[in-house]
Amino acid sequence: MPISPDSQRYTAFNTCYGTYKFLRLPMGLSSSPGSFQLLMDKVLHGLTFNSCLCYLDDVLITSETFEQHLSDLHEVFNRLQAAGLKLGPKKCHFAQKSCLFLGHLISKDGIQPPPDRITAVQEYPSPRSVRELRRALGLLNWFKKFIPNFSAEIEPLTKLLRKNAKFRWTSEQENAFTKLKSLLTNSPILAFPNFHTEFYLAVDTSSKGIGYMLYQYQETASDSKEVSVIRFGSKSLSKWQRSYGPTKLELLGMVTAILDCAMYLRVVNLLSSATTRPFGRYFKKQT
């Protein structure tokens, strides 16, 4: 991606051999990701969200049939060629029934964690220090959308990081760590959203945290309907939020879930499985 002559001087750097400047966009500049994404959005305009998805230099092409896939590939290749962009053959995979995209295993069935990452979690040893615990939590946090009530399940671990807390790895922490590994191993494949039908939100809020599940009823091959989970979500509560009453906690959970899932819910109907009766009383009292 060429840099305009007027901007090249801002990339200059000194060496013992003289002063050099970049003529093309390098990795590492704060504006590089945004500029390159803007370029790709322009190149693939009209194809994005129809036959392909693009994040920086990762392009995922999806098709209903093999013949359609060839046509979609041809269209994307033409766009890239016209823009003067080249592909690395060793990094390209064609006509795949499943593939890794942005750290997720994508197939016709949905989205799931890649097997190697699940194995890494299963084999991860119990933390023996705060530093090791932070590292383990960083690994587990990556999977939180696959684990129901993640914040509540991880609470025995996170409380060891509170101010003035002493690091004591007891059976409580070991059981929670083992359970999280089990939940990840048995986590469902997250379904692709269908924007032509209703979404449902199941919200569970307690003093330990907020947990929710965004799901739909999707038809199966036998013409029956089954629950398809789109994503799980959760949020831990602050010291002051944990002191809220039941009704206010439920309201906080609903608002949190709706805001987190806003990208799915802006243009569709939302049906919540949360109890609405206490909410009605609350709003009446406030007004």
pLDDT along the chain (287 residues), means of 10: 85 88 84 88 90 90 90 93 90 88 88 88 89 89 86 87 86 91 86 86 84 84 79 87 85 89 75 48 44
pTM above 0.95, yes or no: no
Question: Looking at residue 221, what is its pLDDT?
Answer: 67
CA-to-CA distance for 1 and 32, rounded, in angstroms?
Answer: 10
Angle, vertex CA 186, rays to CA 180 and CA 191, nearest 5: 115
CATH 3.30.70.270 correct for 5-107: yes
CA-to-CA distance for 108 and 192, rounded, in angstroms?
Answer: 9
Question: Looking at residue 73, what is its pLDDT?
Answer: 93
- Which SS3 state, helix, strand or coil, does residue 238 take? coil
In the DSSP assignment, the letter for residue 26 is: P
**Region(s) of the chain under CATH 3.30.70.270:** 5-107, 115-185
70 φ, ψ (degrees, to nearest 5):
-60, -40
Q: What is the CATH number of domain 199-286?
A: 3.10.20.370
Q: Which amino acid is at 26?
A: P
Are the CB atoms for 151 and 235 separated by under 8 Å? yes
- Which SS3 state, helix, strand or coil, does residue 32 take? helix
Measured in whole angstroms, the distance separating CA 216 from the mean position of its chain's CA atoms is 18
Question: Looking at residue 284, what is its pLDDT?
Answer: 47
The CATH class of 115-185 is: alpha beta
CA-to-CA distance for 198 and 190, rounded, in angstroms?
Answer: 16
**Region(s) of the chain under CATH 3.10.20.370:** 199-286
- Which SS3 state, helix, strand or coil, does residue 37 take? helix
Question: Looking at residue 141, what is its pLDDT?
Answer: 86
Are the CB atoms for 238 and 252 separated by under 8 Å? no
